A and B are shown apart, each in its own frame.
Chain A
Amino acid sequence: MRSRAALISAAVLGVLAAGFVFVLSTAEPATTRKADSPLLGKLAPPLVGADYDILDSAGQWVLVNFFATWCTPCIAEHDDLVAFSNAHALAGDAQVVSVVFSDDPDNVLAFFAENGGDWPIVLDGDGRIATDWGVARVPESYLVAPNGEVRAKIIGGIEVGKLEQLLAEAKATS
Chain B
Amino acid sequence: MRAALGTAGVTLGLAGAVLGLLTIAAGLARNRLDLQRRGVASVWVVLAGAVVAAVAMEWALLSHDFSLQYVAQNHSLATPFVYTVASLWAALEGSIILWCLVLAGYAAAVVHRFRHQRDDRLVAWAVLALLAVCVFFFALMLGPANPFRTISPVPADGPGPNPLLQNHPLMAIHPPFLYLGYVGFTVPFAFAVAALVTGRLDEGWLSVTRRWTVIAWGCLTVGILLGAWWSYEVLGWGGFWAWDPVENASLLPWLTGTAYIHSVMVQERRGMLRVWNLSLLLATFSLTILGTFLTRSGVLDSVHSFTESPIGPWLLAFFGAVVATCLGLIGWRGDLLRAPGRIDSPLSREGAFLANNVLFAAFAFVVLLGTVFPLLIEAVNDDRISVGEPYFNRMVTPVALALLFLMAVAPALPWRKASTELLRTRLQWPAWGGAAALVVAVLVGARGLSPLLAFALGGFAGVAALRQLGLAARAARRAGRSPLRAITGRTNGGMVVHLGVVIVAVAFAAASSYSTSVKLRLEEGETRSVSGHEVTYLGVEQYRVGDRRVVKARVQVDGGRIYEPALTQFPNATQTIGTPSVAWGFREDVYLTLAASPEREGGPAIIGVIIEPLVSWLWIGGGIMAAGTALSVVPGAPRRRATDPAPAGDDLVAAGR
A residues engaging B (CB < 8 A)? 2-7, 9-11, 13-14, 17-18, 20-21, 23-31, 33-36, 70-73, 75-76, 78-79, 104, 106-107, 110-111, 114-116, 136-137, 155-157
Q: Which of B278-312 contact A (CB under 8 A)?
A: 293, 297-305, 307-308
Q: What is the size category of the interface that chain B forms with chain A?
A: 35 or more
Determine the residue in chain A with the shortest Cβ distance to B389: A137
Determine whether the beta carbon of B331 is less than 8 Å from that of A10.
Answer: yes
Determine whether the beta carbon of A29 is less than 8 Å from that of B334.
Answer: no
Determine whether the beta carbon of B574 is less than 8 Å from that of A7.
Answer: no
Contacting residue for B331 out of A6, A70, A110, A114, CB 8 A: A6
Contacting residue for B574 out of A4, A18, A36, A114, CB 8 A: A114
Determine whether the beta carbon of A21 is less than 8 Å from that of B323.
Answer: yes
B545 interfacial contact with A, CB 8 Å: no
Determine whether the beta carbon of B575 is less than 8 Å from that of A115.
Answer: yes
Q: Which residues of B contact A26 (CB under 8 A)?
A: 379
Q: Which residues of B contact A7 (CB under 8 A)?
A: 331-332, 334-335
Q: Known A-B contacts: A24-B375, A115-B574. Give 19 more (CB < 8 A).
A: A3-B338, A6-B335, A7-B334, A21-B320, A25-B316, A26-B379, A30-B300, A30-B302, A31-B307, A33-B384, A36-B383, A78-B575, A79-B574, A106-B599, A110-B596, A114-B569, A136-B388, A137-B388, A156-B301
Contacting residue for B316 out of A6, A21, A136, A155, CB 8 A: A21
Determine whether the beta carbon of B375 is less than 8 Å from that of A116.
Answer: no
Q: Which residues of B contact A107 (CB under 8 A)?
A: 595-596, 606
Determine whether the beta carbon of B335 is less than 8 Å from that of A104.
Answer: no
Determine whether the beta carbon of B301 is less than 8 Å from that of A157.
Answer: yes
Q: State the Cβ distance, A24 to closest chain B Cβ, in Å.
A: 6
Task: Render B323-354 as a binary contact track against A, CB cut-off 8 A, 1 for contact.
Answer: 11001101111110010000000000000000
Task: Render B436-450 as a binary contact track against A, CB cut-off 8 A, 1 for contact.
Answer: 000000000000000
Q: Which residues of A contact B316 (CB under 8 A)?
A: 21, 24-25
Whole-angstrom distance between the alpha carbons of A26 and B300 in the complex? 13
Whole-angstrom distance between the alpha carbons of A71 and B596 in the complex? 15
Count of chain A to chain B residue pairs whose CB atoms are closer than 8 Å in the complex = 132
Q: Which residues of A contact B372 (CB under 8 A)?
A: 20, 24
Q: Which residues of B contact A156 (CB under 8 A)?
A: 301
Determine whether the beta carbon of A25 is less than 8 Å from that of B301.
Answer: no
Q: Which of B568-586 contact A (CB under 8 A)?
A: 569, 574-576
Whole-angstrom distance between the alpha carbons of A2 and B327 in the complex? 19
Whole-angstrom distance between the alpha carbons of A37 and B35 in the complex? 63
Q: State the Cβ distance, A52 to closest chain B Cβ, in Å.
A: 22
Determine whether the beta carbon of A21 is less than 8 Å from that of B319.
Answer: yes
B429 interfacial contact with A, CB 8 Å: no
Determine the residue in chain A with the shortest Cβ distance to B320: A21
Q: State the Cβ distance, B210 to closest chain A Cβ, in Å.
A: 22
Given A3-B335, A17-B327, A33-B301, A75:B384 Cβ within 8 A:
no
B residues engaging A (CB < 8 A)? 235-237, 275, 293, 297-305, 307-308, 313, 316, 319-320, 323-324, 327-328, 330-335, 338, 372, 375-376, 378-379, 383-386, 388, 519, 569, 574-576, 595-597, 599, 606, 656
Contacting residue for B379 out of A27, A73, A78, CB 8 A: A27
Determine the residue in chain A with the shortest Cβ distance to B321: A21
Given A14-B327, A21-B316, A27-B379, A106:B606 Cβ within 8 A:
yes
Given A104-B596, A156-B301, A6:B383 Cβ within 8 A:
no
Q: Which residues of A contact B656 (CB under 8 A)?
A: 2
Q: Which residues of A contact B385 (CB under 8 A)?
A: 35-36
Determine whether the beta carbon of B335 is less than 8 Å from that of A5.
Answer: yes
Contacting residue for B576 out of A17, A36, A76, A114, CB 8 A: A114
Given A7-B335, A10-B327, A36-B384, A31:B320 Cβ within 8 A:
no
Q: State the Cβ distance, B338 to closest chain A Cβ, in Å.
A: 6
Whole-angstrom distance between the alpha carbons of A11 and B326 in the complex? 11
Contacting residue for B386 out of A6, A34, A136, CB 8 A: A136
A and B contact pairs by CB, cutoff 8 A, 7 listed: A3-B335, A7-B332, A7-B334, A24-B297, A30-B300, A107-B595, A157-B301
Q: Which residues of A contact B308 (CB under 8 A)?
A: 29, 31
Determine the residue in chain A with the shortest Cβ distance to B235: A72
Q: State the Cβ distance, B292 to closest chain A Cβ, in Å.
A: 13
Whole-angstrom distance between the alpha carbons of A21 and B308 in the complex? 18
Determine whether the beta carbon of A70 is less than 8 Å from that of B236.
Answer: yes
Q: Which residues of B contact A36 (CB under 8 A)?
A: 383-385
Given A104-B596, A114-B574, A157-B305, A23:B376 Cβ within 8 A:
yes
Q: State the Cβ distance, A146 to closest chain B Cβ, in Å.
A: 25
Whole-angstrom distance between the alpha carbons of A137 and B235 in the complex? 18
Contacting residue for A30 out of B301, B569, B576, B595, CB 8 A: B301
Q: State the Cβ distance, B47 to closest chain A Cβ, in Å.
A: 32
Q: Which residues of A contact B297 (CB under 8 A)?
A: 24, 29
Q: State the Cβ distance, A70 to closest chain B Cβ, in Å.
A: 6
Whole-angstrom distance between the alpha carbons of A25 and B319 in the complex? 11
Whole-angstrom distance between the alpha carbons of A70 and B578 in the complex? 10
Q: Which residues of A contact B328 (CB under 8 A)?
A: 10, 14
Q: Which residues of B contact A2 (CB under 8 A)?
A: 335, 656
Whole-angstrom distance between the alpha carbons of A146 and B580 in the complex? 44
Given A30-B300, A155-B301, A157-B301, A6:B384 Cβ within 8 A:
no
Whole-angstrom distance between the alpha carbons of A18 and B321 in the complex? 10
Determine the residue in chain A with the shortest Cβ distance to B326: A10
Given A104-B519, A115-B574, A27:B375 Cβ within 8 A:
yes
Whole-angstrom distance between the alpha carbons of A21 and B388 in the complex? 23
Q: Which residues of A contact B599 (CB under 8 A)?
A: 106
Q: Which residues of A contact B376 (CB under 8 A)?
A: 23
The 8 closest A-B pairs by CB, nearest first: A6-B334, A10-B331, A35-B384, A30-B301, A156-B301, A106-B596, A27-B299, A23-B379
Q: Which residues of A contact B596 (CB under 8 A)?
A: 104, 106-107, 110
Q: Which residues of A contact B299 (CB under 8 A)?
A: 24, 27-30
Whole-angstrom distance between the alpha carbons of A14 and B596 in the complex? 53
Determine whether the beta carbon of B569 is less than 8 Å from that of A76.
Answer: no
Determine whether the beta carbon of B384 is less than 8 Å from that of A155.
Answer: yes
Q: State the Cβ distance, B357 to closest chain A Cβ, in Å.
A: 15
Given A155-B384, A157-B301, A23:B375 Cβ within 8 A:
yes
Whole-angstrom distance between the alpha carbons of A156 and B302 in the complex? 9
Q: Which residues of B contact A34 (CB under 8 A)?
A: 384
Q: Which residues of B contact A33 (CB under 8 A)?
A: 301, 384
